[in-house]
């Protein structure tokens, strides 16, 4: 999975298509990401104890990683992620549109 936490992504499909946000959490095992402000669900909670307040809470739900595309910082458009190996032998993520580092 080439999308990581703190990447800026755009949702490609579903009812939140076109919305951009930052990845708050990535789960490579399940192949999902949680994007801030996208795919919100209402959770009806019961008050528990003295301090916990009940009510309707907005909760961020996971999206499949195939439904989001990373937004390049330099060309500011959604793109696919390529990989190149730098001179030190480490893998670098690159934009497929402009070739700049992500």
Averaged confidence pLDDT in the chain = 89
Quote the tokens at residue 91. 């893998």
Query: What pLDDT shows up at residue 27?
Result: 93
Segments making up each domain of the chain, as ranges: 8-46+58-95
Residue with tokens 């739900």: 61
Query: What pLDDT shows up at residue 67?
Result: 93
Q: Where are the beta strands (DSSP E) in 14-97?
A: 20-27, 32-35, 40-45, 55-60, 63-64, 68-71, 78-79, 81-85, 91-95
Quote the tokens at residue 63. 């999206």
44: pLDDT confidence band, cut at 50, 70 and 90?
very high
Share of the chain above pLDDT 70, in %: 100
E strand or H helix that includes residue 11: strand 8-11
Fold of domain 8-46+58-95: SH3 type barrels. (2.30.30)
pLDDT tens, position by position, 53-83: 888 988 899 999 999 999 998 888 899 989 9
């Amino acid at each position: 999975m080439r999308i990581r936490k703190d990447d800026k992504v755009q949702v490609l499909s579903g009812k939140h298509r076109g919305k951009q946000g930052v990845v708050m959490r990535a789960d490579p095992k399940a192949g999902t990401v949680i994007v801030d402000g996208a795919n919100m669900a209402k959770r009806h909670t019961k008050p528990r104890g003295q301090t916990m307040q009940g009510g309707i809470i907005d909760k961020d739900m996971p999206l499949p990683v195939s439904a989001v595309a990373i937004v390049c910082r330099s060309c500011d458009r959604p793109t696919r992620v390529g990989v190149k190996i730098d001179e030190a032998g480490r893998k670098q993520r690159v934009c497929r549109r402009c070739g700049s580092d992500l």
